[in-house]
Amino acid sequence: MTRTIRVAVPGPFTEPLDYLVPSRLPLPRRGVRVRVPLGRRELVGMVTAAPSGSNLAADRLRPITAVLDDEPLLDEETSSLIEWAAHYYHHPVGDAYLTALPARLRQGQAAAPAIATVWTITAEGRETAPESLARQAPRQAVLLEALQAEEHLSPARLAGFDGDPRGALQRLVERGLASLTPVPDYGLIIGRGEESNLALNDEQIAAARAIQPGEGHEVVLVDGVTGSGKTEIYLDAIARSLAQGLQTLVIVPEIGLTPQLVRRFQRRLPGRIAVLHSGLGDGERLNAWLAARTGEADVVIGTRSAAFVPLRRPGLIVIDEEHDASLKQQEGFRYSARDLAVLRAHRLDIPVVLGSATPSLESLENVRRGRYTRYRLCQRAGDARPPVIQLLDMRGQPTRDGLSQPLIDQIHRHLEGGGQALLFLNRRGFSPTLICHECGWLAECDRCDARYTYHRGRGRLHCHHCDRERSLPHHCPSCGSVDLRPLGLGTERIETALQAAFPETPPVRIDRDSTRRRGSFERQMEAARRGDTRLLLGTQMLAKGHHLPAVTLVAIIDADQGLFGADFRAPERLAQLVVQVAGRAGRAERSGEVAIQTHHPEHPLLQMLIHGGYPAFAEAALAEREAAGLPPARAMALLRAEAPSREAPQAFLKAALAGAPRDPRVERLGPYPAPMERRAGRYRAQVMLQSDLRAPLQHLLTQWLPRLGRLPEARRVRWSIDVDPAETL
């Protein structure tokens, strides 16, 4: 027998490398980590294949130096998912494996959870009546009673007793009634499984019925406005999965994984919950990951990378806010957590739920093709009325720092009526431009094709594209004038205008600048929820915030940027924002109003949204994509390149195209410069590939990409491939 294995190692390798296993080491199985030499280095790699013949001469193979796991960390299902993703997104396989693992496992540390020491009841302790201690040692008696009821007490549980019970527990140990035992501590949240006080309505029941954990694969798209009870459907389905002893994987966008959501799951689900997100420490992350793998966790809630977590007894997958662009990784291993989760559910033969108030056009196309089943939720909880959307025509209107008089009047009305107002502007800072009033000079970033944003709070200029900051110039560097003026609108400026217009009602601004301190976003949202804050303004992060039951007016200060974005998905994003934002208005008994300020009230997208809502918009947008030959009607991939010189990316992409396999089924566009050509001192360009079918496009990429690295022009650029890009910039 050859004792050869294939190992996925980090590095630029499309395929795993072959290694020998010395006789002193056990032969590792697929899914086990090993330590291997590579050049001068020693790396952690993942075994992908059982012993097999090698395509390299045996005398050129080097031996592995250690086997790191007794049992495979990844089962066949997860391993093959990772390999599939590495091939589909054309990313090196070793990198794909390692990015799927928590940091500690990537570094070769043991796959073992944290250990907590708990007090456990002994056989003698079980026999002893607590009353016998009650006289001389009342605290011991209380603790013994608790131990008899709960079997063991964790350090966290001790907080439930008066004072510090550790001394009394020590005494119980000395009496032989309790003992200290080390147990694995996965840091799980213990769900309480409380019943809901709201019964599901007919629409929710229909959707929930379609989700049958353990009954085979089915993709259920739950399409419901905010407040229509999507989460109730998830909870119902998860509870049924739990009742069958099956695990549920819940994937949410980073911003959606709020303590509020976790608390709601904890309250309602009768199971153990693991949470996986980027804010965790390495140890916590490892614990949660292992809890999923061993089946200790019944429910795993996580962000993007949770799509790869191994599950011992999978029964259901839920993807919340499935349209959210953050489910697609935007650099490196550019996978879509949503698409992989759907594939995973298909392979596991389990149901998957996609939820959104504004489903992606991709998912709606899948509904149209009969692959997904769509369930619409139209009733809002507590029969709140849908908000009235109106367009505020800005043409010719006098404005005070972006606020038109009708909008100011409207805010007044709502504040006087006891309501809250929520204002959106997707631009931080005071103004997106600083201009010289004498000569027209603009404060431009010298590393990007972009202007500096003026931040008045910090008294500085800040480039939002490369993060460069400069102090504010006192006079114009071109003509010396001191008359430098802010041009355009940012959230700081709106804040100032609101302060002037509503001196009695101090506005609170919520954007990345105002919430930099840890936990301050949560604090501000809590203040708003209590009603302490009546006037809120912020960027998109406000739209994905929390339930604010007293909000009666929501305003979008400037819809025009979304109407004319460079990306073909810009209209879709605007529509999603409008609907999401509208969902914030009038959730309780009061009905809500949505005001959209625009210079283009006749724009078909806005008209469509107002008269037909998101469904009408989506239908029109799909037809448009079909006509234009864009996703989801056709498959797309982008080859990007960037370099410090303008020429290098173009030269590389031209050479790349010249050597590309020809296939009439694959259309090629470009090379053309990226919409913002220079960013952080680098020029960017791209080639777009499109095809009616995925297969020919995939086939072409597989043939083509390995050759690109060998082009002489490739050495002058950084290049990458993006399959199913979320953004074309």
Contact set with DNA (CB under 7 A): 10-12, 17-20, 37-41, 54, 56, 60-62, 715
Which one, 24 or 40, has the nearer CB to DNA? Answer: 40
Task: Spell out the residues 6+ positions from residue 3 whose beta carbon is closer than 8 angstroms to its own.
Answer: 20, 21, 22, 23, 27, 51
Nearer to DNA, 20 or 570 (CB): 20
Q: Which is nearer to DNA, 38 or 381 (CB)?
A: 38
CB atoms within 10 A of CB 295: 16
E strands along 97-246, which residues? Answer: 114-121, 152-153, 178-185, 189-190, 218-224
Q: Which of 614, 511, 493 is nearest to 557 (CA)?
A: 493
> Residue ranges of the alpha helices (H) in 188-336?
202-210, 230-243, 259-268, 282-294
Count of CA atoms in the C-beta half-sphere (13 A) of 421: 23
- CB nearer DNA, residue 699 or residue 718: 718
Question: CB 718 → DNA: shortest distance, Å?
Answer: 7
Least distance (Å) from DNA to the CB of residue 619?
42
Q: Which is nearer to DNA, 550 or 711 (CB)?
A: 711
Half-sphere exposure of 701 (CA within 13 A, CB side): 27
Spatial strand order of the sheet with 152-153 comes to: 152-153, 114-121, 178-185
Q: Distance (Å, rounded) from C-alpha 49 to C-alpha 66?
A: 17
15 or 393: CB nearest DNA:
15
Nearer to DNA among residue 9 and residue 461 (C-beta): 9
Compute CA distances 368 → 45, 52, 566, whole Å.
Answer: 42, 45, 27
CB of 19 to DNA, least distance (A): 5
Give yes or no for a contact between 561 and 533, defined as CB atoms under 8 angstroms apart: no
Bridge-based pairing state of the strands 114-121 and 178-185: antiparallel
CA distance 358 to 339: 17
CB atoms within 10 A of CB 92: 19
Stated as kind and residue range, the H or E segment containing 653 is helix 647-658
Strand, helix or coil for residue 303: coil
By C-beta, is 17 or 651 nearer to DNA? 17
Rounded CA separation 505/316 (Å): 47
Let me know: does 104 contact 69? Beta carbons within 8 Å: no
Give the CA angle between residues 256, 258, 259 to the nearest 5°. Answer: 165
Closest contact distance (angstroms) between CB of 44 and DNA is 13
Which helix (H) or strand (E) is 141 found in, with range?
Answer: helix 138-150
CB of residue 374 to DNA, shortest distance in Å: 41
* Contact of 532 with 507, CB cutoff 8 Å: no
Q: Smallest distance, Å, CB 257 to DNA? A: 28
In 62-145, which ranges are E strands?
A: 66-67, 114-121
Least distance in Å: CB of 37 to DNA? 5
Closer by beta carbon to DNA, 20 or else 280:
20
- Angstrom distances, CA of residue 653 to CA of 630, 650, 670: 21, 5, 8
In whole angstroms, the minimum distance from the beta carbon of 280 to DNA comes to: 23
Task: Return the number of the residue (331 or 416) whose C-beta is nearest DNA.
Answer: 331
Q: Residue 361: exposed, middle, or buried by beta-carbon count in 10 A (0-12, 13-18, 19+)?
A: buried
CB 271 within 8 A of CB 92: no
> In one letter, which amino acid is 530?
R
- Specify the residue, 148 or 720, whose C-beta has the smaller distance to DNA: 720
Q: Which residues contact 370 (CB under 8 A, 6 or more apart)?
A: none
> Minimum distance from CB of 59 to DNA (Å)?
10
Nearer to DNA, 63 or 601 (CB): 63
- Residue ranges for the known binding site are 436, 439, 445, 448, 463, 466, 476, 479
Nearer to DNA, 20 or 173 (CB): 20
Distance CA 574, CA 595 (A): 14
Which residues are documented as binding site for Zn(2+)? Answer: 436, 439, 445, 448, 463, 466, 476, 479
Q: Minimal distance in Å, beta carbon 16 to DNA?
A: 8
For 557-586, give the secondary structure using H, E and C: CCCHHHHCCCCCCHHHHHHHHHHHHHCCCC
